[in-house]
Amino acid sequence: MTPESPKPARDREFNSRAESERVAITPCIGYEKGQVAFAIDQAVDLLGGWRNLVPVDDEIYIKPNLAGPFAPDRAVTTHPMIVETVARVLRSKGADIIVGDGPAGVPSPTYLKLVYKRTGMISLGNRLNIPIDYDTIPEEITIQHPRAIRCLTLTRSMISRTNMISLPKFKTHLFVRMTGAVKNLYGVVHGLTKVAYHSKYKDPGDFTALLLDLVDLVRPRLTIVDAVMGMEGDGPTWGRPRFVGYILAGTDPLSVDYVMSRMMGFPEKELPLFQVVSPPKVEVVGVPLNKAVLKGFRLPQPNTMRDGLEGLQWIPHRLKEAFCRELLPRPNIDSGQCISCGLCLKSCPQQAIHMTKAGASVNHSRCIRCWCCNEVCPSAAVRPERSLLGRMLSGFR
């Protein structure tokens, strides 16, 4: 029998909450141990303190964003010093801790070991004697009141724990525009099931509804965002590292993401997240939000049909569909960078990628622009490009 999730304690309608959610912003200019510890403690104190937020006498799953086997200085993954600081605090207060994530790719202990090694998690685990999660066993969970899907295939070890602390990275994302507190929970989805869900939910709004189902199900006790070094441009893996200089913290993932989106400079209704649900009421404590907004922050390229066509008001509506695929950036593989590892082929939900003697190649007629290939590529071979016609047309306003 498939386990069924309990009805979420929070109101099913995020928008109906009468009180504002508190999000803390504290300055942190580097990953030196003392700086990070001070910034995180300050942020948590502004929210009410560790013991009021987290059951420190219980088992706690720490989930950073470990999108792939990338070194910390790439600003793709949560920096190990953020993870270490949280782990040290919780252990000092008596908590049992485990650290882990479910990166995109084939679910195997071998691949997890590679990811954990390159992201600094194995070194952290050895140094602090903290267990690292290698579980790859799936479990089906039925949601009583879903937005998008009733039955989810998740990684057993992550959902068997009742207490999770989420440690996302401050990054942009080509598909859903931003990856933060809500998107970080997609790591709970089991292995290549991530690919299947991308295939099923091709529209960013539909995919966001799935993410909100995960928010309801997982309900992390606390979210602490690594916003010391973030990523701008065409994230989540091959954007440009950008100094941000903050730690963000909150108990509500949507509120944390709302603050992140304002810091990045997204118009309020541009994010698929806040097209599906209205922006929450937020009380920012610590650094005022208007002081934390980043000047000149580079947003990701347009990636949806609407984004690609909104500037072409001079084209009759009936003709826009004919142009849409040419206007939008699409994944193109640089044969000089491709190492023929096949990870993009395995991650593509539409089977739009095949291998040639020169490396991987994309069938753009099948591509849905979910950018899974870009996210898993270890060599920066997958790049967003427009066709010649698309470059010509997108220049008109």
Encoded tokens for 75: 């600003």
Q: How far is CA 16 from CA 12, 189, 219, 304, 347, in A?
A: 8, 28, 17, 29, 37
Name the 3-class secondary structure at 387: coil
Q: What is the DSSP letter of 7?
A: P
pLDDT given at position 297: 98
> What is the rounded distance in angstroms from the CA atom of residue 168 to the CA atom of residue 170?
7
**Segment 69-98, tens digit of pLDDT:** 999 999 999 999 999 999 999 999 999 999
Q: How confident is the model at residue 392 (pLDDT cuts 50, 70, 90)?
A: low
> What is the rounded distance in angstroms from the CA atom of residue 158 to the CA atom of residue 161?
6
pLDDT given at position 303: 64
Q: If you search the block for the tokens 């141990």, which residue do you land on?
A: 33
> What is the rounded distance in angstroms from the CA atom of residue 17 to the CA atom of residue 280?
8
Does residue 372 have a pLDDT over 90? no
Q: What is the mean pLDDT of the chain?
A: 87
Going from N- to C-terminal start, the domains of the chain cover: 14-292, 305-394
pLDDT given at position 16: 47
H-run or E-run covering 115? helix 109-118
CATH top-level class of 14-292: alpha beta
pTM over the 0.85 mark: no
Contact indicator for 210, 147 with CB cutoff of 8 Å = yes
The better pLDDT of the pair 377, 81 is held by: 81
DSSP string, 131-174: -B-----EEEEE-SS-SS-SEEEEEHHHHS-S-EEEE-EEEEET
Does residue 147 have a pLDDT over 60? yes
Range from 273-287, 342-356, 360-374 that averages highest in pLDDT: 273-287
Contact indicator for 256, 198 with CB cutoff of 8 Å = no
**Segment 191-238, tens digit of pLDDT:** 888 888 888 888 889 999 999 999 999 999 999 999 999 999 999 998
Identify the weakest region by mean pLDDT among 54-63, 120-129, 321-330. 321-330
Q: How confident is the model at residue 241 (pLDDT cuts 50, 70, 90)?
A: very high
pLDDT given at position 397: 34
pLDDT given at position 326: 61
Strand segments (E) across the chain: 21-27, 59-64, 96-99, 138-142, 151-155, 164-167, 169-173, 177-179, 222-232, 240-250, 282-286, 330-333, 353-356, 359-362, 382-385
Q: For residue 340, which of 360, 323, 321 has the smallest C-alpha distance?
A: 360
What is the pLDDT averaged over residues 14-20?
A: 58
Does residue 13 have a pLDDT over 60? no
Asked whether the bond before 267 is cis by omega within 30 degrees of 0, the reply is no
What is the pLDDT averaged over residues 280-299?
A: 97
Name the CATH architecture for the domain at 305-394: 2-Layer Sandwich (3.30)
How many percent of the chain have pLDDT more than 70?
86
Q: How confident is the model at residue 319 (pLDDT cuts 50, 70, 90)?
A: low
